[in-house]
Amino acid sequence: MKGPISQFIEKHYLHFNSAALIDAAKGYETHLVEGGKMMITLAGAMSTAELGKSLAEMIRQGKVDIISCTGANLEEDIMNLVAHKHYKRVPNYRDLSPQDEWDLLENHYNRVTDTCIPEEEAFRRLQKHIHGIWKGAQDKGERYFPHEYMYQILRSGELEQYYEIDPKDSWMLAAAERNLPIVVPGWEDSTMGNIFASYVIKGELNASTLKTGIEYMVWLADWYVKNSGGKGVGFFQIGGGIAGDFPICVVPMLYQDMEMTSIPFWSYFCQISDSTTSYGSYSGAVPNEKITWGKLDIHTPKFIVESDATIVVPLIFAYVLGM
C-alpha cells in the first residue's frame, strides 16, 4: 500500500500539470515493474537544491540505473556534504543590488538563486583533496573519468572529517556505494573542471589524466547496447541542456552512424522543465520533436511536466518509493 504522500498525490493531483506529474510517476513505476532500466539526467543546480534527499534513496533502492549530470551537479552534492553549515540563504535575492552582489563576491560567496556557496569551505576544501587524487593517478600513469575521481575521494574517507549533513542525504555517496554508472558531459565548465584546467596551464597536471567527453560517449554507447534489451532503458530528464541532450543522442548515433538499425529507442521519456517551447530551445522541446531525431519511438510513453523541478521531482520520487 502506498504511503501518505502518494495517497495525497492520488487524491488531489487530478488535472493539468499535477495530473501530468502523477501520470509520469506511474509510468516510471510501470517501466521498472516490467523490467526496464532508468537513466536520470540532472541539469541546473539540483544538487545545491538538495535533491539528494530523495535521489539518494532512489539510488539505494535500485530505482536508478545510470545518471547523466553536469559537472556542477557532480561536485555540488559533495560541496553540500562537506560545507552545508557554511552556506548562506538569501530569500530576498530578487532585491539584491549590483553592490549587494559584489559584497557577496568580496565575502567569497557564490550565489545560486537564493543560496550562496562558500568558496573556502566548499570549493577550496574539495580542491585541496581532489588535487591529490588527480596527481596520484597521473604519477601512476592512470586515467579516469571525472566521476570516477569523485568516487575515489568519497571512498577514501578523506572528506568524512568535514561532513555537515546526514550522509544518507548525499546522492553522490549513494552512487559511490553502488558504483552507479555516471556520465558527465561538459565537465570542463564546472568549478573543478576550471581548477583542473588551471593546473594543466601551470604545467602541474596533464590534460590526458582526465578521460574526455568523447570517451564518455563511447562508454555510454557500449553501456546502452548491453542494457537496452527487454523492456529497455527509460529517460527521466530533469531540466534540459547538455545533461539531457548528450546521453539521449546515443540512440540516433548508434542507429544512424553505427548503422545498428535494430537498436531500441528510449522506452520511456519524461521531461520536467519550465522552459518555453517556442524559443527553439532543446530544454523546451516537446517530446514528439525527438521522434524526428531518432531518439524516441512513436509508441514510447512520453510525459512532460512544465513546472519547477525542485517541486515536482521529490514528489515523483516519493511516489515511486511508495512514500
CATH number of the domain at 90, please: 3.40.910.10
At residue 179, does pLDDT exceed 90? Answer: yes
pLDDT of residue 172: 98
232-241: average pLDDT:
95
Scan for cell 582526465, then name that residue.
Answer: 210
Higher pLDDT, 277 or 96: 96
> Model-level pTM greater than 0.85?
yes
Chain segment 132-169, per-residue pLDDT in tens: 999 999 999 999 999 999 999 999 999 999 999 999 99
At residue 279, does pLDDT exceed 70? Answer: no
At residue 284, does pLDDT exceed 80? Answer: no
- The helix or strand, by DSSP H or E, that contains position 154, with its residue range, turns out to be helix 146-156
| Full DSSP string of 181-195 | -EE-TTGGGSHHHHH
Secondary structure (3-state) at 63: coil
63-73: average pLDDT:
98
At residue 281, does pLDDT exceed 70? Answer: no
pLDDT of residue 222: 98
pLDDT of residue 282: 62
Number of domains in the chain: 1
- The helix or strand, by DSSP H or E, that contains position 30, with its residue range, turns out to be helix 16-33
At residue 277, does pLDDT exceed 70? Answer: no
pLDDT of residue 119: 95
Chain segment 77-100, per-residue pLDDT in tens: 999 999 999 999 999 999 999 999
Strand order in the sheet with 182-183: 182-183, 66-69, 37-42, 233-238, 268-272, 302-305
Strands 109-112 and 115-118: what pairing?
antiparallel
110-130: average pLDDT:
96
Quote the percentage of the chain above a pLDDT of 70.
97
pLDDT class for 275, splitting at 50, 70, 90?
Answer: confident
Containing structural domain, residue 92: 4-320
38-42: average pLDDT:
98
